[in-house]
């Protein structure tokens, strides 16, 4: 998250916004990505007006301005560090009414590493406060020390939801699909982790002219950190892209960072967004593959050789609205990034800190020992990622561990049910890791006799693609029956768990037999019958009755629970009844059996 710390509130200062010293910047409508909706960044220099002064209290007059340009994000930035007892509060005017006062948190522990090249020219700042569309603002500052910020600026950012934002949402919430195989990551043990479906910067409308053209890279990846943005939770799925644009503007235009602080962001609905860019200008997207250790600006002192995923919202004040979706999204990203380095989510990482702010738990030169998947609070003196998100870290680690396991992925066998009278080839596919030696066998599920085999070596991670034509090794067609398709694979000495899928070759049910009549009362009778032992058993039974010698029949009636019996009432003694019975399975219905009974 952006900066946060506890504060003491004894001395009150008020800041008033003076518009004569403000500047208003509107983002150019054209940029490298082609899709860059307008984002306004208003940078206002507040004027301090001293109202009274004493040995214990200084008061600054507050002037309430009216801002003509709408905004939805508020943040304060300044130069140098502030005393820890400084407290900022803000209220905004929305639809002509003033909101309640909200605290703007800040913490030196968040941000770029002071010794890095990116730190040149950067500013300290608060968490951005996201609001409804507003046009007025008031800021208060409380400080025990009475030290005012140097070069304080109030930054107001706004970006509206677009039609592309709305159309984007429906197709971006899937994880681990074969369509992402090209960017799959492979663990040293042969585990394949598919690239999550990530909304790219081009899709959410990042203006690439704002960032540094060449991203800074580390040499490896040691750990991943979970953050939250500490912004509003009141947003719809289609409003999240606009929030991404506003956060990006605040990082680059207000704090003067090289790019978005976080490597990835996840909204509360489980949609994944690309954060900090890993591409040089001119590179093809997506280029933030799992092996690229892009240096972010998220965890001061520990940014080198780590990455961060930030949940959009404030999870210190609100619970995740869809925790399962958020856990899946974060875990999928973590697994994909950790895979090439063979990192286990439940193991510990050792990272040498470079923090000089004093806000990290690990000072300059100290060794931070922390879980490979950590929360920001594990290494920093902060509440991030919030009291309501932090408890989900064990679930995130557990799910990431599952995704990293060396298994055969995306096994697909189609069709799995075939009519022996209308034979079709069986298409078999699976994702095998690079260097994987695989064997595919077709066997009888009863006798386990192997009927056909195939084998090969996967040169690069990709699809095993095989078609079984329904014949044996001697090219003889198999009979109706149940058959097992088994795939085995090994990468070096690592043997992957085998997968087995059943294919049924069958027919529609045979005609029923042994139909019998049993009198249960003066006007009540029960009819029972038997079904042959077909490869594919009947799942439904149907019966209908004629009381006029078979000239006309009533409607077909499905028996209860698929039982091979039916009970009839109000049958008349001495009358002939013709019954027709048939059964059905997934391939069709049997022939009809007709039988005559006389009610005795």
pLDDT at 80: 83
Q: How does strand 87-94 pair with strand 129-142?
A: antiparallel
Residue 287 near residue 345, CB atoms below 8 Å = no
- Give one word for 440, left, alpha or beta, with left for phi > 0 and alpha for psi -120 to 50: beta
Cα angle 186, 304, 282 (rounded to 5 degrees) comes to: 70
pLDDT at 134: 86
Q: What percent of the chain has pLDDT over 90?
A: 53
pLDDT at 62: 39
DSSP-assigned letter for residue 527? E
Residues 574 and 55: their CA atoms lie apart, in Å, by: 116
How far does Cα 132 stand from its chain's mean position? 26
Report the 10 Å Cβ neighbour count for 89.
16
Omega before 29 within 30 of 0, i.e. cis = no
pLDDT at 264 over 60: yes
Confidence of residue 290 (pLDDT cuts 50, 70, 90): confident
DSSP-assigned letter for residue 77? E
Residues 139 and 142: their CA atoms lie apart, in Å, by: 10
Which of 112-121, 235-244, 584-593 is most confident?
584-593
Four-point Cα dihedral 511, 516, 520, 522, nearest 10: 110
Four-point Cα dihedral 585, 590, 594, 600, nearest 10: -20
Residues 92 and 95: their CA atoms lie apart, in Å, by: 10
Residues 538-546 have a mean pLDDT of 97
Residues 197 and 175: their CA atoms lie apart, in Å, by: 6
Residue 256 near residue 122, CB atoms below 8 Å = yes
Residues 404 and 335: their CA atoms lie apart, in Å, by: 6
pLDDT at 499 over 60: yes
Residues 334 and 311: their CA atoms lie apart, in Å, by: 13
pLDDT at 464: 92
- Give one word for 550, left, alpha or beta, with left for phi > 0 and alpha for psi -120 to 50: left
Residue 74 near residue 104, CB atoms below 8 Å = yes
pLDDT digits (tens, 9 = 90+) for 212-260: 988 899 999 999 999 998 888 888 899 999 999 999 999 999 989 999 9
pLDDT at 176: 53
Residues 497-513 have a mean pLDDT of 96
pLDDT at 152: 85
pLDDT digits (tens, 9 = 90+) for 166-195: 888 766 655 555 556 777 888 888 888 988
Q: Which tokens hold the place of 24?
A: 């208003």
pLDDT at 22: 43
Burial class of residue 410, CB neighbours in 10 A (0-12, 13-18, 19+):
middle
Residues 351-357 have a mean pLDDT of 86
pLDDT at 34 over 80: no
How far does Cα 68 stand from its chain's mean position? 38
Q: Tell which residue, 11, 9, 15, 47, has the closest CA to residue 146.
A: 11
Q: Does residue 376 sit in helix, strand or coil?
A: helix
DSSP-assigned letter for residue 195? P
pLDDT digits (tens, 9 = 90+) for 419-452: 999 999 999 999 998 888 999 999 999 999 999 9
Domains of the chain in start order, with CATH, are 12-159 (no CATH), 163-404 (3.40.80.10), 409-506 (2.60.40.2550), 513-598 (2.60.40.10)
- Give one word for 588, left, alpha or beta, with left for phi > 0 and alpha for psi -120 to 50: left
Q: Tell which residue, 489, 490, 481, has the closest CA to residue 443.
A: 481
Residues 492-496 have a mean pLDDT of 86
Phi, psi (deg, nearest 5) at residue 2: -80, 165
The overall average pLDDT reported for the chain is: 85
Distances from the Cα of 239 to the Cα of 65, 162, 185, 298, angstroms: 28, 9, 31, 23
Q: What percent of the chain has pLDDT over 70?
A: 85
pLDDT digits (tens, 9 = 90+) for 58-75: 555 435 455 657 888 888
Residues 461 and 296: their CA atoms lie apart, in Å, by: 29
Residues 353-368 have a mean pLDDT of 85
Confidence of residue 8 (pLDDT cuts 50, 70, 90): very low
> Minimum mean pLDDT among 22-31, 191-200, 257-266, 295-304: which range?
22-31
Report the 10 Å Cβ neighbour count for 151.
10
Question: Longest C-alpha distance within the chain, in Å?
Answer: 116
Q: Which residues, in sequence order, are CB contacts of 563 under 8 Å at separation 6+?
A: 541
Q: What is the pTM of this model?
A: 0.77
Residues 182 and 287: their CA atoms lie apart, in Å, by: 12
The angle that helices 393-404 and 323-338 make with each other, rounded to 10 degrees, is: 50
Residues 482-499 have a mean pLDDT of 93
Q: Which tokens hold the place of 65?
A: 């301005």
Q: Tell which residue, 201, 196, 266, has the closest CA to residue 228.
A: 266
Residues 394 and 373: their CA atoms lie apart, in Å, by: 9
pLDDT at 487 over 90: yes
Burial class of residue 304, CB neighbours in 10 A (0-12, 13-18, 19+):
buried
Q: Tell which residue, 143, 3, 17, 12, has the closest CA to residue 83.
A: 143
Residues 236 and 212: their CA atoms lie apart, in Å, by: 31
Tell me the CB-side half-sphere exposure of residue 381, using CA atoms within 13 A. Answer: 15
3-class SS string, 286-337: CCCCCCCCECCCCCCCCCCCEEEEEECCCCCCCCCCCHHHHHHHHHHHHHHH
Residues 442 and 454: their CA atoms lie apart, in Å, by: 9
Residues 143 and 146: their CA atoms lie apart, in Å, by: 5
pLDDT digits (tens, 9 = 90+) for 366-406: 999 999 999 999 998 888 999 999 999 999 999 999 999 88
Q: Which tokens hold the place of 281?
A: 């200008």
pLDDT at 57: 52
Per the DSSP assignment, residues forming a β-bridge with 58 are: 53
pLDDT at 342: 92
């Amino acid at each position: 998250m952006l900066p946060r710390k506890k504060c003491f509130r004894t001395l009150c200062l008020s800041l008033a916004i003076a518009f004569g010293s403000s500047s208003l910047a509107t983002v150019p409508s054209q940029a490298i990505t082609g899709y860059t909706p307008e984002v306004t960044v208003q940078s206002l220099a507040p004027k301090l007006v001293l109202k009274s002064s004493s040995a214990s209290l200084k008061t600054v007059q507050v002037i309430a301005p009216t801002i003509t340009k709408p905004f939805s994000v508020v943040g304060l930035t300044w130069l140098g560090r502030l005393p820890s007892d400084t407290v900022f509060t803000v209220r905004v005017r929305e639809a002509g009414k003033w909101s309640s006062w909200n605290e703007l948190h800040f913490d030196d522990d968040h941000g770029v590493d002071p010794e890095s090249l990116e730190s040149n020219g950067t500013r300290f700042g608060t968490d951005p406060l996201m609001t409804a569309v507003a046009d007025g603002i008031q800021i208060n500052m409380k400080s025990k020390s009475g030290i005012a910020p140097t070069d304080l600026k109030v930054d107001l950012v706004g970006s509206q939801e677009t039609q592309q934002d709305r159309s984007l949402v429906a197709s971006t919430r899937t994880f681990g699909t074969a369509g992402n195989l090209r960017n799959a990551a492979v663990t040293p043990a042969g585990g394949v982790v598919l690239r999550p479906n990530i909304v790219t910067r081009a899709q959410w409308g990042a203006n690439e002219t704002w960032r540094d053209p060449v991203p800074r890279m580390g040499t490896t990846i040691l750990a991943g950190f979970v953050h939250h943005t500490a912004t509003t939770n009141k947003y719809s799925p289609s409003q999240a892209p606009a929030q991404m644009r506003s956060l990006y503007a605040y990082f680059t235009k207000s704090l003067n960072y090289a790019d978005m602080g976080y490597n990835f962001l996840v909204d509360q609905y489980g949609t994944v967004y690309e954060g900090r860019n890993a591409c040089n200008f001119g590179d093809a997207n997506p280029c933030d593959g799992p092996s690229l250790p892009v240096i972010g600006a998220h965890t001061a002192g520990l940014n080198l050789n780590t990455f961060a995923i930030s949940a959009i919202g404030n999870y210190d004040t609100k619970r995740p609205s869809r925790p399962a979706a958020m856990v899946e999204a974060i875990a999928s990203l973590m697994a994909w990034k950790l895979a090439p380095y063979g990192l286990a989510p439940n193991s510990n990482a050792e990272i040498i800190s470079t923090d000089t702010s004093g806000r990290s738990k690990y000072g300059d030169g100290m060794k931070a020992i922390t879980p490979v998947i950590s929360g920001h609070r594990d290494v920093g003196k902060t509440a991030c990622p919030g009291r309501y998100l932090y408890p989900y870290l064990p679930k995130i680690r557990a799910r990431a561990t599952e995704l990293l396991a060396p298994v055969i992925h995306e096994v697909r066998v189609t069709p799995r049910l075939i009519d022996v009278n209308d034979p079709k080839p069986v298409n078999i596919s699976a994702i095998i890791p690079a260097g994987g030696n695989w064997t595919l066998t077709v066997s009888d599920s009863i006798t386990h006799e192997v009927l056909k085999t195939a084998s090969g070596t996967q040169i690069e991670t990709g699809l095993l693609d095989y078609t079984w034509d329904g014949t044996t090794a001697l090219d003889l067609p198999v009979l109706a029956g149940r058959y097992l398709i088994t795939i085995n694979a090994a990468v070096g000495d690592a043997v992957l768990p085998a997968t087995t899928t059943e294919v049924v070759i069958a027919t529609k049910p045979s005609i029923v037999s042994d139909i019998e009549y049993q009198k249960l009362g003066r006007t009540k009778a029960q009819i029972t019958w038997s079904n042959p032992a077909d490869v594919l058993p009947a799942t439904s039974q149907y019966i209908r009755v004629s009381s006029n010698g078979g000239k006309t029949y009533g409607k077909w009636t499905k028996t209860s629970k698929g039982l091979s019996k039916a009970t009839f009432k109000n049958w008349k003694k001495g009358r002939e009844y013709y019954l027709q019975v048939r059964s059905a399975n997934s391939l069709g219905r049997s022939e009809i059996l007709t039988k005559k009974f006389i009610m005795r």
